Structure 1
């Protein structure tokens, strides 16, 4: 039976009526989707390849907004569609404008050069015996506007502080693109940070004009003071908690904190800002209460809230104003305002406001793990404890201390489990690993940090003014040592880390969207959010790990060998080994390719047989040195290989049976991940016109060599 137009109109009308009823029931939740719609537009700009696609997406958003206007702004469905379309278009425009506003030249290729520069920022990295300098070259032809250089601590002379003018010789290179698919994209981060080159200094730095005063900055001075009072790893973490300076934390402690699920303690966020604001308000109220004449005439809570706001702003500035800190500061200020107005302070609207402000100011933060982790955690906590069932479980009641303590611990454990479940997909997407026992570790670490470490450290800093802070520094150090012990014990426990190779973007988006659907709605249709979560999780878990990984320079090759990895070059550094392991979803020490029974290697070449998931054998041929290889040997090896990999340019006569990855090819593709059974080849570089992919470039001129004078004629 044919469907008549009247029936179609009736079905569409019924669908809109159903949607209208659902949105009317959720009218209080609709404002929470404002930052989500804005973020959707920002994400579209990052994911789509170029201007034509960006304009088409913005036009699509405008079309959705017009449809909403056609339905009627007075109706919930019409207003929702209008707002969604408009905010998506605005998000695309904001991201595009922001990327163009920070445009700057980037170094074209690696170079060693001498130049004069003004120091913009000093970041001590004592755990690595380095100092990181952010430099603005002065009258330097062919250099970017800002460069970042690592200098050995012993090569930094006195006076080389913020504002100083120095002369140095450095090896510089363009900001690095991801070495492998799914790896960290520093080139994108450097574009928005204004950095056009990175590198390391060669030799001693010469100070031309010394910095005024110490030149160290309040943040660095405070970090140095804290580490002088508490030594070792505890002192480095104490400095991080106060200033956000992570340079003193050694790699072992940092990795243990990540594997145990405690790394969030090292990011200045809501936990730390709340402790600072709460301590400031409590101290202000106690001090004001000592003056009855003042306390009886003014609103003490209002003045105390002002001190709390000042503490939040000062702490945010001191900690470097990173995204989690800014978000927490905004949230703290909104909470104080709500309390003064007699409104409910901690709500999802507060989180939405903070997210909206951050996205307006720094739209690029959406693409980074810091924004996603911090806002996901806070949203999950508030959504969980605003649920009527959970509120009934943990609301205050007349009961004994032991029962009250047990209820508080159960609340903390449930919160930790929910936050762990929410953050796991984000951690797996960005870092390819996630801690398993984080909820248990946080059960001890969070109260210890909130109620002992932060107050004791703040009081110790105040008492240091009169030389009485030593006892509290001891308490702080002992408490941090306990957290480090928990972190190392948890990290070393069997099965403490889940590893997963790079998941598809659609799977991550499905899980993220499903989580937002559950968290932001109140009625029963929130349960439908479980469907995309399950689909996304199945998609992420069903992706087979890559059999072969090749970095963008062709120097490092990793082949899957059972449950581990085999590396082409034994001298690969810790960072390279970790990056290859994360991309492959492998946790453990990699072996050498020489040790595989199906590999035949010399100092210059390797020929290995690799079996895929279907049992087929693939022959891989790779170069492992820069030495000359006889042409006939190279040609014969290429002819019997399925895949050839080289960090040099191969001659045209080198023709493998399937794939050739030499310097010329990798320059176009970037790093490569290959799944042999399906023949899937994932590359770092694809179609795209984002400004950090093809930036304007500069290059210092080559130094002019002096020409020797011609020899004098004989007899003159």
Structure 2
């Protein structure tokens, strides 16, 4: 009886707690839906996906038949149904977008209809998405890069062009923790990417060159402001970031200001508020309208139209759609006389986005945008914070300080929410972002965007030049702030690939703190701290090998990471540096004192604890004498090669040649515990084992053209 009484007492306490938190329970619906989606990405195959769905449904059924009723059984039942729905939804979505993928690299001559044209002036390149016509041996959608000099004048959406291109399958993550483009391409139905060759022939014209409003507006803005400033201005107006140089983009990311370039809540809110204010002021000029009409309702309608139009203009990306949905819900709440900015609004926006695009959950864009908004709203819903920053009768100086304090506290909360996400996806996060945003957000919202809008309006009558000059100076100030912040000592925290379990604990703890209102919320600090500690103590890998076996980074005696090939490209250097947790430039293995390198081979010794590990890697396409290679293999622990090694090459511990890496993908190794992590963990997600197509081999035509760079 004692045990039964204790159970009844515990159940009663849970019921009382849930009764107090009843307004917060609905916030967990998108969380449970997202957890089901996450389970599909994490679990490896269909048998486990089915098991998860059935287990979630069993949980829901068991909760429904629990005696006594109450909120706890109902909450468990809804959670179980949401978990099952999330897993089934993303599985259905992955099968629905299924399309063939190119089997292996190929040189193809084909005609295709242009679906999208992206101008990338900072890289002197044009990116074109095509739908091949009459080619069953090609994927239904491919993307090629063209040099700007090779792009014909009639290259517009809807045109049919003929070209020759070097195509390749969408690449998977090069090493564990790196960006998995193959997964992203699968949900975009993109079956191949590549580089196009001149000449490119326009077979059939598409839309008129001036009919694409987004491209025309971006080009107009970039013609008024040169360089990265024009790229930022066009990003604010249309979402087009192609004119921002890589140097400036990196500074903006390192300074924690990257959210300003992604059209999301800040931009949609500014456009919506500006439209509402303008319509309200214009309508209020008429006494008749002011007395007979509900002008705020009319202004809300204008704001809604502005939000939808801006979303369509900027390409209707997921963060923009989420912000547009949120703006529409805010306007609806205002029209009904309800409180507008609440966590319920955020939850509704997340639920709608996950229903329409469940795959967006796995991307950093969804996670960053919703984490930032959730942190802001949760912070300012707190009664204590509201008490600190509520309006009161006081001097202008104290009011200004209170506003700055609110902005700083909000910035700190956002940085704490975004830093783990940035470390998980990008392996680095800005430290001084909260301070930089105190200046950058007001500068962008109240100076740059209004000036840009005014300049565009004045350009209709040809007198916008002075305002464009002011806009350019404000953008120069923003770029200066980004570079100063990014170059400050300790501006960036770098971390190697974070374990998925650690990230899950951090996210779960953060959501627990943000979504509850009673003191129970502080229990979320425990999993948050455990996850953060787990991530911080996870050792950086000692050896990273890319999936093609051509590149590796290995830890040398001084603790730095060194590259195998002297001529590795910038992307390879950056990717290996980020995933190894190295903030500094990677060294060259050929110059390391503990390595012996020839043009064809490198042999390096790595000390880990009391043991020395000998690693051998090929670094050229030339064959090594068979007997010499066999002898070297026997004397080393790990052998890495981008070719097939002879059967007699048997190292003491691990052999990573072309055949092995084709099964495992990229590999990360920690020598201290002899731990191996591979990109391919034996899963059967559709982008890992897709249906493939392959064009027949064609001899290279005479002459040829110039490849893009």
- Shared fold (TM-score, shorter chain, > 0.5): yes
How far apart, CA to CA, are the structure 2 residues paired with 1:705 and 1:560? 42
Measure, in 1, the Cα distance between the counterparts of 2:612 and 2:107.
44
Q: Return the alpha-carbon distance in structure 2 between the equivalents of residues 273 and 249 of structure 1.
A: 21
Partner SS for 1:203: strand
Q: Secondary structure at the match of 2:676?
A: strand
Alignment pair present for 1:463 and 2:463? no
Quick check: 1:159–1:215 contact (8 Å CA) kept in 2? no
Q: What pairs up with 1:67-466 in 2 under 5 angstroms?
A: 67-71=62-66, 74-214=69-209, 217-466=212-461
The question of 1:483 aligning with 2:474 is answered no
Aligned-partner Cα distance in 1 for 2:199–2:396: 63
Task: Summarize deviations over 1:304-345 as a string: whole Å, max 9, x none.
Answer: 111100000011111111111111101100111111111100
Structure 1 70/587 Cα, relative in aligned 2: closer, same or farther at 3 Å?
same
Given that 1:160 and 1:215 are in contact with CA atoms closer than 8 Å, whether structure 2 keeps it comes out as: no
Task: Provide the residue aligned with 2:572 in structure 1.
Answer: 576
The 2-side partners of 1:329 and 1:213 are apart by 29
Structure 2 residue matching 1:202: 3-state secondary structure? strand
Select which of 528, 549, 556 maps to 1:554.
549
Match for residue 712 of structure 1? Answer: none
1:647 and 2:607 matched: no
Alignment check: 8 A CA contact 1:163 1:215 kept: no
Matches of 2:68 and 2:91, distance apart in 1: 28
Q: Secondary structure at the match of 2:176?
A: coil
**Alpha-carbon displacement from aligned partner over 1:323-369 (angstroms, at most 9, x marks no partner):** 11111101100111111111100000000000000000000000011
Aligned to 2:53: 58
TM-score (norm 1): 0.96
Matches of 2:560 and 2:491, distance apart in 1: 17
Shift of 1:596: 1.1
Task: Determine if the alignment matches structure 1 residue 601 to structure 2 residue 597.
Answer: yes
1: CA distance, partners of 2:209 / 2:217: 13
Offset, 1:215: 6.4
8 A Cα contact 1:57 1:89, kept in partner:
yes
The equivalent residue for 1:566 is 562
Separation of aligned partners in 1, 2:413 and 2:56: 34
The corresponding residue for 2:24 is: 29
Cα deviation code 1:436-465 (max 9, x no counterpart): 111111110001011111111112112211
Which residue does 1:689 correspond to in 2?
684
Question: How far apart are residue 11 of structure 1 and its match?
Answer: 3.5
Tell me the equivalent position of 2:467: 472
**1:223/1:243 contact within 8 Å kept:** yes
* Paired position in structure 2 for 1:611: 607
Deviation at 1:616, TM superposition (A): 2.1
- 1:334 & 1:301 partners in 2: Cα distance? 15
State the aligned residue count: 700
Counterparts of 2:15 and 2:32, CA distance in 1: 19
> 1:141·1:701 contact (CA, 8 Å) conserved in 2?
no
CA drift of 1:71 comes to: 2.4
Distance 2:277 2:424 in 1: 41
Write the distance in 2 (CA, Å) between the matches of 1:413 and 1:75. Answer: 42
| SS of corresponding position for 2:44 | coil
**Which SS does the other structure have where 1:466 is aligned?**
coil
Deviation at 1:523, TM superposition (A): 0.4
Q: Contact conserved, 1:161 with 1:215, CA < 8 A, in 2?
A: no
Give CA deviations for 1:485-534 in whole Å, capped at 9, x if unaligned.
01001111111110101111111000100100000000010010001001
For 2:98 and 2:552, the matched residues in 1 are separated by 34
1:390-410 CA-to-partner distances (Å, cap 9, x unmatched) read 111111111111110011011
* More off after superposition, 149-158 vs 287-296: 287-296
- Residues 136-183 of structure 1: CA distance to partner in whole angstroms, max 9, x if unpaired? 000013000000111111001111111111100000011110000011
Would you say the 8 A contact 2:210–2:216 is kept in 1? no
Alpha-carbon distance in 2 for matches of 1:348, 1:367: 21
Distance apart, 1:705 and its partner CA: 11
> Which segment is superposed worse, 6-15 or 464-473?
6-15
Residues 649-668 of structure 1 aligned to structure 2 (within 5 Å): 649-668=644-663
Q: Give 3-state SS (helix, strand or coil) of 1:71's partner.
A: coil
Under a length normalisation based on structure 2, what TM-score does the superposition of the two structures give? 0.97
Q: Deviations over 1:283-321 (max 9, x none)?
A: 111211223333332221111111100000011111111
Q: Provide the secondary structure at the position in 2 that maps to 1:619.
A: strand
Cα distance between partner residues in 2 of 1:73 and 1:371: 39
Cα separation, 1, equivalents of 2:699 and 2:626: 38
Instruction: Tell me if the contact between 1:122 and 1:216 (Cα under 8 Å) persists in the aligned partners.
Output: no
Correspondence for 2:706: none
1: CA distance between counterparts of 2:465 and 2:288? 35
CA distance in 2 between partners of 1:141 and 1:220 (Å):
31
1:88-122 Cα offsets, whole Å, 9 max, x none, are 01111111111111010000010011000000110
Structure 1 residue 611 displacement after superposition: 1.4
Q: Which moved more, 1:14-23 or 1:574-583?
A: 14-23
Change in Cα spacing, 1:280 to 1:644, as seen in structure 2 (3 Å) is same
In the TM superposition, residue 633 of structure 1 has moved relative to its aligned partner by 1.3
> What SS does structure 2 have at the residue aligned with 1:194?
coil
- For residues 673 and 321 of structure 1, the distance between their equivalents in structure 2, rounded to whole angstroms, comes to 37
Q: CA RMSD in A?
A: 1.3
Determine the structure 1 residue equivalent to 2:673.
678
Deviations 1:641-664 (A, max 9, x none): 111000100001111111110001
Looking at structure 2, the residues matched to 334 and 595 of structure 1 have their Cα atoms a distance apart, in angstroms, of: 60
Find the aligned partners of 1:370 and 1:71 in 2 and give their Cα distance: 40
Deviates further, 456-465 or 276-285: 456-465
The verdict on how the C-alpha distance between 1:705 and 1:594 changes in structure 2, with shifts beyond 3 A counting, is closer
Supply the distance in 2 between the matched residues of 1:575 and 1:73 (Cα, whole angstroms). Answer: 60
Supply the distance in 1 between the matched residues of 2:614 and 2:692 (Cα, whole angstroms). Answer: 40
CA contact (8 A) 1:180 1:684 kept: yes
Distance apart, 1:232 and its partner CA? 1.4
The structure whose RCO (Cα within 8 Å, separation 6+) is larger is 2
